[in-house]
Amino acid sequence: MAVYSAEHYLNRKRLPHLWCAGCGSGIVLGSLTRAMAALGLDREKVVTVTGIGCWGKADDYLNTNAFHGTHGRALSFATGIKAANPELTVIALMGDGDGATIGGNHLIHSARRNIGVTAIVVNNMNYGMTGGQYSATTPHGCITSTSKYGNPEREMDLCALVAVAGANYVGRSTAYHVTQLDSLIKNAISHKGFSFVEVISPCPTHFGRRNKFGVSVGMMKCLKERGLNKAKFGMLAEEEKDKYILLGKLVDRDEPDFNEQYETIRTRVFGSEQGLKG
Amino acid sequence: MERKMVFMQGNEAVAEGAIYAGARFYAGYPITPSSEIAEICSQRLLEVGGIYMQMEDELASMAAITGASLAGKKSLTATSGPGFSLMQENLGMAQAAEVPCVVVDVQRSGPSTGLATKPAQADIMQARWGRHGDQAIIALAPATVQECFELTVKAFSLSERFRTPVVLMPDEIIGHLRESVLLPAPGELEVVERKRYTGDPKAYLPFKPEDDDIAPMADYGSRYVFHITSSMHGYEGYSQNDPDNAAWKIGHLSDKIYNSLDEIIETREFFTEEMELLVITSGSTVRAAHEAVRQARSGGMKAGLLQLITLWPFADSKISELAAGVKSILVPEMNLGQMVHEVRRIVGAEMPVHSLAKSSGQGIEPQEILTKIREVY
């Protein structure tokens, strides 16, 4: 295995990044590059796939191959890339808009199909790039630029959704719990099948300001206080759980992935030889 | 392997043509009247070492074939009107990022679910203008099952040659028609492969065109690391918003196609010598028009027929050339009139251009065209 530093994966030519002061995206980018370095990935064999949004700009700052696609479809592009060449490490970077809202259907089916893609969803609980409108993960009642008197809709638990849809690996952390995040991302990338990491991340510019979390420090404090591991979370009374965020590895399975299932069928029908009727 | 005469359905010929062209990846969502293409590809691609994926919708299907193409596999999807509408988003992505792939739209009646699933030729303008923003598309329309096979091969070749998605649009009548096909031997039909970069990895610019208007490609996983984006981009493939670059790039997406019309446009003429009335049509309507023109000739009327095999870019030069010698033009089509406006644009207001527009979910019959020929002759 080659030994690289995290900086090996950073595209310095494109820095400084465009994220606001206090945004969590840069922290997650740091975790991602450290995970790549820890795994010694060859950047030629990595494809980073993004959609549209703040976190969707992350591919610009990486030295890997990249596919910056349309809003919500990152997982579908990633699916085609991985299925066509299973030797590639394919990582989809999406926000809560891309991953949970407009692309929610693709998230469900990527998990169900157990395609060998790692999805890292940076959930800042609103559409940051377009001015802070509410998304599928904006908590009920919160103030956003399209819910000025409170969000009438309910938020979605992404990890629970992906777990029940069949992903092999699911974990959640925050932009505050960086050591844990490094480890979750590294494990997700090296895990076979569909792996999913949700990162709860501050958006001080829109979400924090409108919901009286203070600026970035206040939001970070909130993540620190509300993020609990399984043991602590489990001790909470049911009615308290809504106020806290369950962190850590939530699912760890070893089911065959899409390509493995496909090749199993091919081998069963044709033996190890292919191209017989080409 | 030699040539082989077989009895085959249009959709089946599309699937076999794709395999012949080297397609090894299919992602789609089933929809009548195109589903046979998915069914056959699901079996045949497994047999030949390729991959078939059934996606959750047409947005994902179009996205998956774009991704697979960049991973080095010739890729296709097949659909019909409702699915083709959903594919427009990522068809635009493939155009902007200059990704070769083939989209088969077996045309059915609309709007919306429409007359599921009666034939129509009403997606002609959607194929051309369905995406936002300026871009050019290549679209082909077969009129026989033989052409379903051959034009699928051609669609892949044009797609690889011009680094762009190509739409193959048989109408339902052709997609479901069964007739004899002479399957070519391997190597008999030209199969073009995309131009791939072979130089220094550090010097690779994925969007810098060479003298033939086309930038060489690389595959994900090769030693050439590259960046693709749906955003406006320069030679390096990163977002670039300055007006000069944008003007160049937007122009380039059309210029690379419109600078090579001779390579792209294919038409076929029937009875066009000493002609007074020209019939212009495409797809299944060509078959009815052929019979009508033949009968018109027997009855002493000097009618001729131009089949548009390439729908887009439109065959302006050929139409101008033939129009110069005739007194009037008739355009039969299974829609309320789409191609006819293009023909009028080309020949000008002086030339009478008659429309035989039928949008009832039925094919146009020879007798209808013959009656119209008699009326306007």
In order, the DSSP letters of chain A are: -----GGGGB-GGGPSP-PPTT-SHHHHHHHHHHHHHHHT--GGGEEEEE-SSSGGGGGGGBSSEEEE-STT-HHHHHHHHHHH-TTSEEEEEEEHIIIIIITHHHHHHHHHHT-SEEEEEEE-SSBTTTT-B--TTSPTT--BTTBTT---SPP--HHHHHHHHT-SEEEEEESS-HHHHHHHHHHHHHSSS-EEEEEE---IIIIIHHTT--SHHHHHHHHHHHEE-HHHHHTS-GGGGGGSEE-EEEEE-----HHHHHHHHHHHHHTT---TT-
- Look at residues B38, B95, B43 and name the one whose alpha carbon lies nearest to residue B69: B95
- Look at residues A170, A160, A167 and name the one whose alpha carbon lies nearest to residue A193: A167
The answer to whether A73 contacts B59, with C-beta atoms less than 8 Å apart, is: yes
User: Is residue A109 within 8 Å of residue B99, measured between CB atoms?
Assistant: no
Question: Per the domain annotation, does A164 fall within a domain?
Answer: yes
What does the pLDDT read at residue A271? 85
Chain A residues in contact with B64 (beta carbon < 8 A): 76-77, 79-80, 83
The answer to whether A64 contacts B225, with C-beta atoms less than 8 Å apart, is: yes
For residue B86, the SS3 value is: helix
The answer to whether B55 contacts A109, with C-beta atoms less than 8 Å apart, is: yes
Structure tokens at B185: 């031997």
CATH of the domain at A135: 3.40.50.970
The answer to whether B70 contacts A266, with C-beta atoms less than 8 Å apart, is: no
Q: How far apart are CA B244 and CA B148, in angstroms?
A: 41
Question: Per the domain annotation, does A258 fall within a domain?
Answer: yes
The answer to whether B57 contacts A63, with C-beta atoms less than 8 Å apart, is: no
The answer to whether A278 contacts B49, with C-beta atoms less than 8 Å apart, is: yes
Q: How far apart are CA A135 and CA A201, in angstroms?
A: 14
Structural domains in chain B plus CATH codes:
1-264 (3.40.50.970), 266-376 (3.40.50.920)
Question: Per the domain annotation, does A1 fall within a domain?
Answer: no
Question: Per the domain annotation, does A124 fall within a domain?
Answer: yes
Q: Note whether A77 contacts B: Cβ–Cβ < 8 A.
A: yes
Crossing angle of the two packed helices A158-165 and A104-113, in degrees rounded to 10: 40
Question: Per the domain annotation, does A172 fall within a domain?
Answer: yes
Beta strand segments in chain B, E: 4-9, 25-28, 51-54, 75-79, 101-105, 138-140, 165-168, 178-183, 227-229, 267-270, 277-281, 303-308, 310-312, 328-333, 353-357
User: Is residue A113 within 8 Å of residue A140, measured between CB atoms?
Assistant: no
Structure tokens at A41: 């990935």
Question: Per the domain annotation, does A276 fall within a domain?
Answer: no
CA distance A20 to chain B (A): 19
Q: Determine if the pTM surpasses 0.95.
A: yes
The answer to whether A106 contacts B60, with C-beta atoms less than 8 Å apart, is: yes
Interface confidence, given as ipTM, is 0.97
Structure tokens at B2: 């030699």
Chain A residues in contact with B70 (beta carbon < 8 A): 67, 81
- Residue A95 CA from chain centroid, whole number: 7
What does the pLDDT read at residue B1? 66
Q: Note whether A48 contacts B: Cβ–Cβ < 8 A.
A: no
Q: Tell me the residue range of the domain where A88 lies.
A: 6-270
Q: Note whether B131 contacts A: Cβ–Cβ < 8 A.
A: no
Structure tokens at B30: 């089933």
Chain A residues in contact with B49 (beta carbon < 8 A): 274-275, 278
- Look at residues B229, B56, B96 and name the one whose alpha carbon lies nearest to residue A103: B56
Structure tokens at A211: 């919901």
Question: Per the domain annotation, does A27 fall within a domain?
Answer: yes
Which positions ≥6 away from B243 have C-beta within 8 Å? none
A80: closest chain B residue by CA: B64
User: Is residue A65 within 8 Å of residue A87, measured between CB atoms?
Assistant: no
Domain count within chain A:
1
Task: For chain B, 377 residues long, give each residue's pLDDT as a single digit of tens.
Answer: 689 999 999 999 999 999 999 999 999 999 999 999 999 999 999 999 999 999 999 999 999 999 999 999 999 999 999 999 999 999 999 999 999 999 999 999 999 999 999 999 999 999 999 999 999 999 999 999 999 999 999 999 999 999 999 999 999 999 999 999 999 999 999 999 999 999 999 999 999 999 999 999 999 999 999 999 999 999 999 999 999 999 999 999 999 999 999 999 999 999 999 999 999 999 999 999 999 999 999 999 999 999 999 999 999 999 999 999 999 999 999 999 999 999 999 999 999 999 999 999 999 999 999 999 999 99
Count of alpha carbons within 13 angstroms of residue B275, beta-carbon side: 26
Chain B residues in contact with A47 (beta carbon < 8 A): 71, 220-221
User: Is residue A181 within 8 Å of residue A227, measured between CB atoms?
Assistant: no
User: Is residue B316 within 8 Å of residue B259, measured between CB atoms?
Assistant: no
The answer to whether B51 contacts A83, with C-beta atoms less than 8 Å apart, is: yes
- Comparing CB atoms, the residue among B47, B55, B71 nearest residue A88 is B71
CB atoms within 10 A of CB B325: 13
Q: Note whether A266 contacts B: Cβ–Cβ < 8 A.
A: yes
- Selected for mutation to probe chain B from A12, A44, A77 (highest B CB count within 10 Å) is A77
- Selected for mutation to probe chain A from B228, B231, B240, B241 (highest A CB count within 10 Å) is B228
Q: Note whether B46 contacts A: Cβ–Cβ < 8 A.
A: yes
The answer to whether A274 contacts B25, with C-beta atoms less than 8 Å apart, is: no
Average pLDDT, chain A: 95
In DSSP terms, which residues pair with B280 in a beta bridge? Answer: B306
What does the pLDDT read at residue A275? 47
Q: Note whether A84 contacts B: Cβ–Cβ < 8 A.
A: yes
- Cα-Cα end-to-end distance for chain A: 37
What is the mean pLDDT of each successive set of 10 residues along chain A, which is 278 residues long? 91 95 97 98 98 97 98 98 98 97 98 98 97 97 97 97 98 98 98 98 95 90 96 96 96 98 96 56
A47: closest chain B residue by CA: B220
Question: Per the domain annotation, does A231 fall within a domain?
Answer: yes
What does the pLDDT read at residue A213? 87
CA distance A73 to chain B (A): 7
Chain A residues in contact with B87 (beta carbon < 8 A): none
